[in-house]
Structure 1
């Protein structure tokens, strides 16, 4: 940091397993990636190339190399996995991971109907070669999954080999963990946390109010994802109690 402030939460250091920030790249150019890393690289733990944007991204290999050179892992969004699976091309998907030398992969079923046992098989198979993040929750706002089902699926996916489970919200933050207004389904989150260790969960929280809510609930080192590149540094200030939304929250260090 550039100067000293007292009563600021201690952030975990990279490489870390808690306090994760997953940023979403929805089509940055190579120059934008370079600028993004220059400005925010210290605060980004992993990058997701949103949904299936990697299919149409120009200079994909070169772009991935920029992230790799900066020590920031990248994975393709779960929708791409679903696009391959629905076309009966799972083996082709694995070849894509190999082609681009990806060490992480996301398994999801937010856009397709997939038997959960089959989803766990995919997780188990992929986890032999890469680190798997599995996403729980639907992209269909009308599909409400009861808390016990979230817990059951998260645990089964961790048991199948997932490194972390992702709580679905889409890039807009208006489904899954959240109501269509963006409000957190508080009871759902709190019930999940009674069974699933918080360090095993990556909460998609693209909206500032959602980030604030999770930080106040779980502290500065909560795992948060779907963060827009231009929101990474603002998020870090929220984590540290240096923005109005959490300004008073960490002044009493007993809260840290």
Structure 2
């Protein structure tokens, strides 16, 4: 930090298991990645190349190299996994991971219907090859799971080999753990946390109000995902009580 302030919440340090900031790259250019890393690389733990954008991204290997040179892991969005799986090309997907030197992979079923036991089998297979992050929840706003179901699915995926499980919200933050308005389904989150350790969950929280809500619930070192590149620095100030939304929240803790 650039100077000293007292009573600042203690943040975990990289490489961290808790307090992750997962950034969504939806198509940054190489120059934009360089600029992003200069400003926000210190506060970024992992980057997702959103859904299947890696399929059409120019200079993909060069982009991956930039992130790696900054010590930031990258992974392809879960929709890419689904695009391969639904076409019966899972082994091709594994080869793509090797070809691009990927160390992480996301397994999701937000766009396709898949028997959960089969999804867990995919997780177990990939866990032998890479670090797996799996996603629970549908991108379809009409599909609403009961809390016990979220817990059941998360537990099974962790047991199958997932390092972290993502609570689905899409890049807009209006499905899954949120209502269409972006409001948090508070009862759902509370129920999940009775059974799943918070450090194992990455809560997708693209909206500032959602980030504030989770930081106040769990603390500065909550795992948050789908953060826009331009919002990484603002998020870090929220985590540290240096923005109006959390300005006095940590002072007496």
- The alignment's TM-score, normalised by the length of structure 2, stands at 1.00
1:38 maps to which residue? 38
1:139 maps to which residue? 139
2:118 maps to which residue? 118
1:240 maps to which residue? 240
- Deviation (angstroms), 1:164: 0.4
How does 1:2-13 map onto structure 2 within 5 Å? 2-13=2-13
Structure 2: distance between partners of 1:240 and 1:250: 8
Structure 2: distance between partners of 1:40 and 1:144: 35
1:69 maps to which residue? 69
- Deviation (angstroms), 1:10: 0.6
Structure 2: distance between partners of 1:61 and 1:159: 32
Structure 2: distance between partners of 1:205 and 1:4: 29
1:207 maps to which residue? 207
2:159 maps to which residue? 159
- Structure 2: state its 5+ residue gaps: none
Structure 2: distance between partners of 1:84 and 1:174: 26
Q: Look up the SS of the partner of 1:110 in the other structure.
A: coil
Structure 1: distance between partners of 2:75 and 2:129: 14
- Deviation (angstroms), 1:176: 0.2
2:195 maps to which residue? 195
1:224 aligns with 2:224: yes
What value does the CA root-mean-square deviation take over the aligned residues?
A: 0.4
Structure 1: distance between partners of 2:96 and 2:169: 26
The structure 1 segments of at least 4 consecutive aligned residues displaced by more than 4 Å after TM superposition are none
Q: Look up the SS of the partner of 1:132 in the other structure.
A: strand
Structure 1: distance between partners of 2:54 and 2:135: 18
- The alignment's TM-score, normalised by the length of structure 1, stands at 0.98
How does 1:91-130 map onto structure 2 within 5 Å? 91-130=91-130
1:175 maps to which residue? 175
- Structure 1: state its 5+ residue gaps: none
- Deviation (angstroms), 1:29: 0.3
Structure 1: distance between partners of 2:165 and 2:95: 23
Q: Look up the SS of the partner of 2:42 in the other structure.
A: helix
How many residues end up aligned between the 2 structures? 253
Q: Look up the SS of the partner of 1:163 in the other structure.
A: strand
2:57 maps to which residue? 57
Structure 2: distance between partners of 1:105 and 1:68: 15
Structure 2: distance between partners of 1:9 and 1:91: 45
Structure 2: distance between partners of 1:144 and 1:66: 38
- Deviation (angstroms), 1:22: 0.2
- Deviation (angstroms), 1:30: 0.4
